[in-house]
Amino acid sequence: MIDPFGRKVSYLRVSVTDRCDLRCVYCMAEDMHFLPKADILSLEELERLCGAFVRQGVRKLRLTGGEPLVRRNIMSLITNLGRLVKSGDLDELTLTTNATQLAKYAEGLAAAGVRRLNVSLDSLDAAKFEAITRWGKLDQVLEGIMAAKAAGLAVKINTVALKGGNEDEHEHLVEWCGSHGFDLTFIETMPMGDIHSDRTEQYLPLSLVRSRLEQRFSLSDIDYRTGGPARYVRVAETGGRIGFITPMTHNFCETCNRVRVTCTGTLYMCLGQEDAADLRTPLRASEGDQLLEAAIAEAIARKPKGHDFIIDRDAHPAVGRHMSVTGG
């Protein structure tokens, strides 16, 4: 699949649910209203949809949410998709998770063919973690992360840089990740969805984060890539890697190889644009996939050049949907 700007689309992120067992302050409102179950694709429909994308050239598949591991019977979908990795039809199957359920699922994920996880973790302080997630328990998350490590899964920690929220912990996070062999990626907060607060009070540019880290660590740019938008550096003191995802201060769209499908079967060609394609209707209109594959091709032909994110005190969210709806 080639978009109008010559970029090969080979990476699909699929949200399997909009529900989550946390309410992170930069992601959700506290009183979220979730989609009715009738609107959500079944696990069998999600598998069929993923298969259609794989046949059209997707080589990397990431399952997201909400929190994917709260979806009932999710391991059946993961096991079936893992067979595409084992057959060579898919290069990689990964998950983004908050790790609350990882202690239960880590061994099963490894057995299914998952080799790598992204774990959202914004603080190593229990009280601060609970404040950021609104009710999360840090011990439960750390137990899940260590279960993933014990199962042989490579773990990358994703940390949203929050002004006044966790900026005093960034050095500690670098050291902690280095000690456990985890990569660490810092992410700028993005203007998606109404969170009932002012995002300018959260926003911390990663240029500032990096300059502060360089006062303590020796960072050198490297060419390492995972298929996503992060740009990586090596930390001489720990031997680990730090990634920086900068949708606000440095638009990374020129190399975008990704599209996202929501749990309702809506395809978003760009995280930061509202244009979308309905895949649920063609998916359910026929037992064959001809209509579905035609809808995918038509949508890829509309993939935009980039997003228009801006954080301003007087600005509305760049897009109205929450990140939990689109998938991380």
Feature table: binding site: 13, 20, 24, 26-27, 62, 66, 96, 120, 156, 190, 253, 256, 258-260, 270
What is the CA angle 15-176-70, rounded to 5?
25
Binding residues for [4Fe-4S] cluster: 20, 24, 27, 253, 256, 270
- What is the bridge-based pairing of β-strands 231-235 and 219-221? antiparallel
Residue 32 burial by CB count (10 A; 0-12/13-18/19+): exposed, middle or buried?
middle
Checking phi first, is residue 61 left (phi over 0); if not, alpha (psi -120 to 50) or beta?
beta
Binding residues for S-adenosyl-L-methionine: 26, 66, 120, 190
Amino acid identity of 150?
A
Paired tokens of 317? 């969210």
Between CA 312 and CA 309 the distance in angstroms is 10
Only one residue has tokens 């059209």, namely 56
Q: How far is CA 319 from CA 51, 60, 96, 155, 218, in A?
A: 29, 26, 21, 30, 37
Q: Which residues contact 208 (CB under 8 A, 6 or more apart)?
A: none
CA 142 to chain centre: 19
What spatial distance separates the first Cα and last Cα of the chain, rounded to whole Å?
21
Between CA 319 and CA 276 the distance in angstroms is 12
Between CA 243 and CA 144 the distance in angstroms is 22
Reduced to 3 states, what is the DSSP secondary structure of residue 109? Answer: helix
Between CA 96 and CA 121 the distance in angstroms is 11
Binding residues for GTP: 13, 62, 96, 156, 258-260
Only one residue has tokens 């067979």, namely 83
